[in-house]
């Protein structure tokens, strides 16, 4: 059994997966604002639910850059240098704890759901901010696992700004005074597509993915702007750099938790192969 945890800015989802890949019953609780309370609550939930079961690994998704088991910065939670590995390693004694960035895991799940699995994919989640996950040959790319496409610097409206400062869900609400679900104007969606395109025009020539997958709250309304976005990219990308296929995330609400499953599954497979 794999125990999987999706830590969000407002809620934390704990679930499990059997060897057949089926997800078990889930538990949700509000994500505590303080790291110490988060650790205490998460340990209690896991021990009460899985303490008497055989668990092969625990996979934890955190909304921030994770290096050597430490979340260097979780912007939506306001946590800095959260030493997750050290604080949570005794959650279930003897059970490995794997920790990864949530966008990387979501990108892993969405990529593995494709048939065939592309050689290279770029997952972009556009919600409060803009997160990214880059996958190569069906695995999180080890050389690009710390990338933050949302922080790509782009000249927009006469200023050099981060991509997410003018194209994220938060920025869209601030500019148009409406949530994406309430925007019906085609003109407005063309403008939003233009905003979103600016970051892609910066990162596509560098990464040159086969597929771009858009998730998050803005990804939910993909059909309202995808044609505009694709047209802008095709117009402005250099002739020798093809426009990647752009698709909507299939499971935006569950991508992270399924990414935890794939990540844990790969870990166990690699561990078994090393013993042979």
**In a shared domain, residues 190 and 95:** no
**In a shared domain, residues 244 and 262:** no
**Residue 110, domain member (yes or no):** no
SS3 helix, strand, coil % of the chain, rounded to 5?
A: 40, 25, 35
Q: How many CA atoms lie within 13 A of 21 on its CB side?
A: 9
**In a shared domain, residues 243 and 127:** yes
**Residue 98, domain member (yes or no):** yes
**In a shared domain, residues 269 and 236:** no
**In a shared domain, residues 188 and 121:** yes
**In a shared domain, residues 97 and 156:** no
Q: Determine the pLDDT at residue 209.
A: 97
Number of domains, the chain: 2
**Residue 258, domain member (yes or no):** yes
Question: How does the average pLDDT of the chain come out, rounded?
Answer: 93
pLDDT class of 78 with cuts at 50, 70, 90: confident
**Residue 11, domain member (yes or no):** yes
**In a shared domain, residues 227 and 259:** no
**In a shared domain, residues 138 and 240:** yes
CATH of the domain at 144: 3.30.420.40
Contacts of 263 (CB under 8 A, 6+ apart): 59, 98, 100, 105, 108, 140
Q: What's the pTM? A: 0.92
**Residue 175, domain member (yes or no):** yes
The CA distance from 83 to 70, in Å, is: 4
**In a shared domain, residues 125 and 240:** yes
**In a shared domain, residues 135 and 203:** yes
**Residue 79, domain member (yes or no):** yes
C-alpha angle 47-85-273 in degrees, rounded to nearest 5 = 90
Structural domain for 150, as ranges: 115-248
The CA distance from 229 to 52, in Å, is: 50
**Residue 78, domain member (yes or no):** yes
The DSSP letter of residue 32 is: P
**Residue 267, domain member (yes or no):** yes
Residue-wise pLDDT for 103-129, tens only, equals 999 999 999 999 999 999 999 999 888
Residue-wise pLDDT for 27-67, tens only, equals 999 999 999 999 999 999 999 999 999 999 999 999 888 99
| Chain-centre distance for alpha carbon 39 | 21
Q: Determine the pLDDT at residue 253.
A: 78
**In a shared domain, residues 150 and 257:** no
Give the residue carrying structure tokens 């990219």.
233
**In a shared domain, residues 167 and 129:** yes
Q: pLDDT: is 75 or 78 the higher one? A: 78
Alpha helix (H) residue ranges in the chain: 35-50, 84-88, 102-112, 164-167, 169-176, 186-207, 216-219, 226-236, 255-275
């Amino acid at each position: 059994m794999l125990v999987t945890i999706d830590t969000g800015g407002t809620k934390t989802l704990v679930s499990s997966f059997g060897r057949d890949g089926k997800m078990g019953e889930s538990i949700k609780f509000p994500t505590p604002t303080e790291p110490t309370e988060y650790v205490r609550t998460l340990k209690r939930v896991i021990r009460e639910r899985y303490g008497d079961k055989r668990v092969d690994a625990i996979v934890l998704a955190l909304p921030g850059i994770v290096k050597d088991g430490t979340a260097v910065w979780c912007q939506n939670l306001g946590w800095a240098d959260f030493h997750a590995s050290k604080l949570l390693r005794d959650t279930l004694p003897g059970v490995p704890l794997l920790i990864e960035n949530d966008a990387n895991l979501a990108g892993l799940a969405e990529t593995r759901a494709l048939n065939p699995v592309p050689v290279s994919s770029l997952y972009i989640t556009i919600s409060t901010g803009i997160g990214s996950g880059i996958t190569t040959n069906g695995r999180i790319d080890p050389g690009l696992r710390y990338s933050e496409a949302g922080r790509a610097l782009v000249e927009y409206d006469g200023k050099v700004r981060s991509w997410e400062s003018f194209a994220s869900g938060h920025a869209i609400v601030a500019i148009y005074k409406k949530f994406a679900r309430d925007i019906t104007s085609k003109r407005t969606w063309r403008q939003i597509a233009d905003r979103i395109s600016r970051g892609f025009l910066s990162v596509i020539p560098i990464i040159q993915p086969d597929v771009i997958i858009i998730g998050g709250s803005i990804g939910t309304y993909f059909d309202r702007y995808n044609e505009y976005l694709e047209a802008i990219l095709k117009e402005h990308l250099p002739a020798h750099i093809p426009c990647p296929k752009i698709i909507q995330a299939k499971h935006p609400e569950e991508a992270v938790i399924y990414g935890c499953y794939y990540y844990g599954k790969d870990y166990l497979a690699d561990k078994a192969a090393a013993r042979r």
